[in-house]
Amino acid sequence: MQLSASPYEERLNAPRTWWLVCFLVGVSMALIFLPFGALPLLGGLVGGTAVAAVVTSSYGSIRIRVVGDSLIAGDAKIPVAALGDAEILDPEEARAWRTFKADGRAFMLLRAYIPTALRVEVTDPSDPTPYLYLSTREPERLAAALEAARAKA
């Protein structure tokens, strides 16, 4: 028996340039340990690079999924029945909603290195969250998946 695939799944990976920065952090650590000899220098290079890589990997491992009748964004799991209209945000509008238009009560799953986003109204009267701001590289697909999940529910 084959399980049906999720209608939408996206991992918000960190940009490739961040991995270069991880190596540069390792080089910096190596330079800090340079006065102590070659072995501490090597340890600083490997250790600094590894720690920076773990941090970068964990930051970029967050996922957005639409599974069944739920939207899973990071650690949040929201039933699509509690969601209203979705607004696709171009880079300029996404920046505005990340900054001066932002509501402090909103659920913000944002990654500044992803220029586009989706803003989804929360219609549940018992939830004080006015909307979800979701950084996504494919806002049209995410909006379509939410609409399809809402139609099935």
Looking at the structure, do residues 81 and 122 belong to the same domain, yes or no? yes
Looking at the structure, do residues 76 and 148 belong to the same domain, yes or no? yes
Looking at the structure, do residues 105 and 119 belong to the same domain, yes or no? yes
Contact (Cβ atoms closer than 8 angstroms) between residue 76 and residue 64: no
Kindly state the tokens that stand for 127: 């939830």
pLDDT of 1 strictly over 50? no
The pLDDT score that the predictor gives to residue 61 is: 87
Count of domains for the chain: 2
The pLDDT score that the predictor gives to residue 2 is: 40
Looking at the structure, do residues 96 and 132 belong to the same domain, yes or no? yes
Looking at the structure, do residues 45 and 108 belong to the same domain, yes or no? no
Separation between Cα atoms, residue 33 and residue 40, nearest integer Å: 6
CA distances 66 to 52, 78, 80, 130, 139, Å, are 30, 10, 9, 20, 13
**Confidence class of residue 6 from pLDDT cuts 50, 70 and 90?**
low
Inside any domain, residue 130:
yes
Inside any domain, residue 4:
no
pLDDT of 4 strictly over 50? no
Using a cut of 0.85, tell me whether the model's pTM lies above it. Answer: no
Q: For residue 132, give its domain range.
A: 64-152
Closest CA to 73 of 15, 14, 131: 131
Looking at the structure, do residues 50 and 70 belong to the same domain, yes or no? no
Inside any domain, residue 94:
yes
